[in-house]
Amino acid sequence: MECVFCKIIKGEIPSYKVYEDESVYAFLDINPVNFGHTLVIPKKHYENMEEIDKKILCDLIKVVKKIGGAIKKGLKVEGYNINLNNGSVAGQVVPHFHFHIIPRLENDGLKLWDQGEYKNGEAENVLNKIKKEL
Ligand code: AMP
Ligand code: ZN
């Protein structure tokens, strides 16, 4: 079965379109964290950061910047979160690459995540594992 975001791009499922160009489509998230919550997606189907073409990724992030500015001005918010849930373990539900732009309001109650700390040697160990794959 074809993915829901591909259907949105084809117009088979309705959406509140924010922006469109030849490679990018942006629309309001149907269940907004805050009003104006926008999804920015490639028109071509890529599942995740590993798959996506680098040029398309650049196209997307430029649109994120453009819409982020428009959200700040238009909705008179002072900031926004840009979120990418990459993989189901990271909360990705729709397997079509997408950035979330989430307008933030003072005291909107959105809590992002708890943070921990490294103990002796743990940071170096992690660092080595990541850097050898770069
Ligand atoms: P994620 O958890 O990162 O995969 O986010 C998927 C997002 O897509 C969720 O925030 C949903 O609310 C949103 N979503 C799912 N279906 C639709 C739809 N038909 N129109 C707009 N947003 C949708
Ligand atoms: Zn798709």
| Chain segment 14-28, per-residue pLDDT in tens | 999 999 999 999 999
Q: What is the pLDDT of residues 36-67, one digit of tens each?
A: 999 999 999 999 999 999 999 999 999 999 99
Pick the CATH number of 4-132 from 3.30.428.10, 3.40.50.720, 3.30.930.10, 3.30.460.80: 3.30.428.10
Q: What is the rounded average pLDDT of the residues 90-108?
A: 97
Confidence of residue 1 (pLDDT cuts 50, 70, 90): confident
Average pLDDT in the 68-86 region? 97
98 as an active site residue: the answer is yes
What's the rounded mean pLDDT across residues 115-125? Answer: 98
**Alpha-carbon distance 38 to 27, whole Å?**
6
Residue listed under structure tokens 């840009």: 82
pLDDT band at 79; cut points 50, 70, 90: very high
Cα of 105 vs centre of ligand 2, distance in Å, is 31
| Atom 3 in ligand 1: residue holding the nearest Cα | 92
Name which residue sits closest to atom 13 of ligand 1, judged by CA: 29
- Residue-level pLDDT at 105: 94
Chain mean pLDDT for the chain: 97
> What confidence category does residue 113 fall into, taking pLDDT thresholds of 50, 70 and 90?
very high
Q: Which of 27, 94, 101 to mutate to test the pocket of ligand 1 (most atoms within 8 A of CB)?
A: 94
CB atoms within 10 A of CB 107: 5
Rounded to the nearest 10°, the torsion over CA 35, 63, 97, 42 is 120
pLDDT at 99: 98
Catalytic member of 37, 45, 96, 98: 98
pLDDT at 102 (0 to 100) = 98
Mutate to test the pocket of ligand 1, among 8, 31, 49 (most ligand atoms within 8 A of CB): 31
